[in-house]
Structure 1
Amino acid sequence: MGMQEQMVGCFAAEKAESWLFILVGVGLVMQASLMLVLDLFAEKRGDEYLLALRALPTASAPAAGEAPGQAAEGPR
């Protein structure tokens, strides 16, 4: 095998490797774009969820020294 044939073979291998890196990079950019779009939807859903949670009625916490099942007595 001559020197020129070795160089052509080496260049072909480098060209194939560079295409592989390009395709991997394009795939990663596509995945990152999809994740960004899905994250925007998740953020919107999270905001709606928090609004719904804040709209729920809350129970009052027991006063200091009371058991959780005992009702607090009001002023007599």
Structure 2
Amino acid sequence: MKKNRKKDFFKYFYISFVGFLLLFLIVNVVTSIIRYNVNFKEYKKVKSEYEETKKKYEKMLNLYDNLKNLKEGREKE
């Protein structure tokens, strides 16, 4: 009877340990997915801001070149 009780204890301990590891894995996967979605949204936001700023910069650079050429009296190239 004693051996059977010992086996039951280790069986219960093993099942509990595996259950804990599975729970830990599930929590890790869920938090990773949430973190990835947040980072991806942030990336898209920053990328769109970068594209807008890049367009504004190119527009201003073009205006600057035109004004510089007018000041120097050159025609547009």
TM-score of the aligned structures, taking structure 1 as reference length: 0.72
Which runs of 5 or more structure 1 residues have no equivalent in the other structure? 61-71
Please tell me whether residue 33 in structure 1 is matched to residue 37 in structure 2: yes
Give the AA of the match of 2:7.
M
Larger fraction in helix: 2
How far apart are residue 5 of structure 1 and its match? 1.3
How far apart are residue 41 of structure 1 and its match? 0.5
Percent of paired sites with the same residue: 5
Residue number in structure 2 paired with 1:14: 18
Q: Give aligned pairs, total.
A: 62
Which runs of 5 or more structure 2 residues have no equivalent in the other structure? none
Q: Whole-Å Cα distance in 1 between the matches of residues 16 and 55 of structure 2?
A: 59
Residue number in structure 1 paired with 2:47: 43
Give the AA of the match of 2:30.
V
Please tell me whether residue 4 in structure 1 is matched to residue 3 in structure 2: no
Please report the RMSD computed on the Cα atoms of aligned residues, expressed in angstroms: 2.0
